[in-house]
Chains A and B, each alone.
Chain A
Amino acid sequence: MELSSSQREQVEHQFDSFCKRLLKNEAKDYRRRLQYRSVHEVLFSEMSKKEIDELMTMDKYESDIYKFLACGFEFEIESDLLAVALSKLPVKSRDILLLSYFLDMSDVEIANVLGMARSTVQYRRSTSLNELKKYMGGKNNAEE
């Protein structure tokens, strides 16, 4: 269908206003979005130390965790100091401490599992705990 020249002129004007309107709206939209961001978003570089610390997390790596085996259970220990101290103890004493304090087993139960007398377990537990305390405490004092 051929358009008359007046209709063509009308289309020309419609097209012109169509383009201007869409550009104006897009610009308005963009500015509104910027406005929204300035209200709801913050740059890390402009945050205070405290605010950043609240958002921070530390990664945990397998290699940072010490693992001890006792009676087929695996014990994961994160603290360097404790892990080193534990590794200095004899195996039996360490097993007793791990079972007792990590698994909440009673001396009788530990005695059954390890095949020892209950009194031996009790004695070893208290002496090795003292050794552990001495080791860790001494190291702490030395550092301070």
Chain B
Amino acid sequence: MQKNKAIIPFPVIEAAVSGDVDAINAVLKRYEGYIARLSTRRLYDEDGHSYMVVDEELRRRLETKLITKILEFKIA
């Protein structure tokens, strides 16, 4: 993932904050990877092997949180 490509352009932010669905989807898309990384948990099976698993509940919580909080963002 390239760092510079990551920044969301100002007009999209403006639209997302005012509740535009496409813009919010674009923001979600942008942070998809970050959300997946945060939701990954290490689980162990009976034999002690460890697995990296995406916690779906956490992933959906983060998504929901992001959507609700985007609407509260104040463009200073």
Q: Hey, which bits of chain A sit against chain B, CB under 8 A?
A: 3, 8-9, 11-16, 18-20, 22-24, 26-27, 30
Query: How many of chain B's residues have a CB under 8 angstroms from any CB in A?
Result: 22
A22–B69 CB distance below 8 A: yes
Please indicate the chain A residues that have their CB under 8 angstroms from the CB of B34 in the complex.
Answer: 20, 23
- Residues from chain B with Cβ under 8 Å of A23 in the complex: 31, 34-35, 38, 62, 65-66
The distance in angstroms between the C-alpha atoms of A3 and B69, with both chains bound, is: 23
CB proximity of B35 to chain A, nearest CB, Å: 6
Give every chain B residue within 8 A of A27 (Cβ-Cβ).
Answer: 38-39, 58, 62
Q: Could you say which residues of chain B place their CB within 8 Å of the CB of A22?
A: 65-66, 69
Known: A14-B76, A18-B73, A19-B31. A26 touches B61 (CB 8 A): yes
Determine if A19 and B7 form an interchain contact, defined as CB atoms under 8 angstroms apart. no
Q: Are B65 and A8 in contact (CB under 8 A)?
A: no
In this complex, what residue of B is CB-closest to A27? Answer: B38
Cβ of B54 under 8 Å from chain A = no
Q: Closest A-chain residue to B7, C-beta based? A: A12
B75: interface (CB < 8 Å) = yes
Q: Please encode chain B, from 1 to 41, with 1 for each CB lying within 8 Å of some chain A CB and 0 for all others.
A: 00000111110010000000000000100010011001100
Q: Report the separation of the CA atoms of residues A16 and B73 in the bound assembly, to the nearest whole angstrom.
A: 11
Residue of B nearest to A20 (CB): B34
Known A22-B66, A22-B69; contact A16-B8, beta-carbon cutoff 8 A: yes
- Closest chain B CB from A118 CB (angstroms): 76
Residues of B within 8 A of A18 (CB): 69, 73
A24 to B10 alpha-carbon distance, docked (Å) = 23
- Assuming the contacts A22-B65, A26-B65, A27-B58, asked whether A11 and B31 have C-beta atoms less than 8 A apart, the reply is no
Closest to A16 in B: B7
CB atoms of B73 and A15 under 8 A apart: yes
CA distance A143 to B62 in the complex (A): 64
Determine whether the beta carbon of B75 is less than 8 Å from that of A11: yes
A11's closest neighbor in chain B, by CB? B75
